[in-house]
């Protein structure tokens, strides 16, 4: 059941509006809290990426990590992830969830799995 006009849903999931397009500048990471999910949104070459905002190692803030192209380095102990697919750079194992993300009319929306 949806309770906000910002939300839309279909059988594949629901889109949640999380902020303004201007909230995430080029090469920046910004953390959004949506329900119980912490999501890190990055902009690289104008494109948005969204991954889990909590590091798989010990919970560091992924959005505060340094971004080098599509590689983000966790600020706590240096684990690195590919923000395109959530894989750990060293092990190639997917360790962060990734989310579809889009911009509509100046808003950033993230798609969450249907619950
Ligand atoms: S908490 Fe991210 S590398 Fe340790």
Domain-embedded: residue 100: yes
Ligand 1 atom, smallest distance to 58 CA: 1
Domain-embedded: residue 2: no
Q: Residue length, the chain? A: 115
Q: What is the pLDDT along the chain (115 residues), one digit of tens a residue?
A: 333 334 555 557 899 999 999 999 999 999 999 889 999 999 999 999 999 999 999 999 999 999 999 999 999 999 999 999 999 999 999 999 999 999 999 999 999 987 6
Write b or e for each residue in 10-39: b if 16 or more Cβ atoms lie within 10 A of its Cβ, otherwise e: eeebbbbbbeeeeebeeeebbebeeeebbb
Domain-embedded: residue 56: yes
Q: Is the CB of 77 under 6 A from ligand 1?
A: yes
Domain-embedded: residue 73: yes
How many domains, in total, are found in the chain? 1
What tokens appear for 34 in the block? 């949506």
Q: Is the CB of 79 under 6 A from ligand 1?
A: yes
The boundaries of the domain holding residue 79 are 25-112
HSE at residue 28, side-chain half, CA atoms within 13 A, is 9
Domain-embedded: residue 7: no
């Amino acid at each position: 059941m949806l309770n906000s006009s910002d939300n839309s849903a279909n059988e594949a999931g629901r889109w949640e509006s999380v902020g303004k397009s201007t909230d995430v500048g080029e090469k920046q990471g910004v953390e959004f809290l949506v329900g119980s999910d912490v999501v890190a949104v990055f902009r690289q070459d104008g494109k948005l990426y969204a991954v889990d905002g909590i590091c798989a190692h010990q919970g560091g803030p992924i959005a505060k990590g340094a971004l080098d192209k599509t590689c983000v380095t966790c600020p706590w102990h240096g684990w690195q992830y590919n923000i395109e697919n959530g894989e750990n750079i060293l092990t190639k194992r997917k360790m962060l969830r990734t989310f579809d993300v889009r911009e509509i009319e100046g808003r950033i929306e993230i798609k969450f799995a249907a619950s």
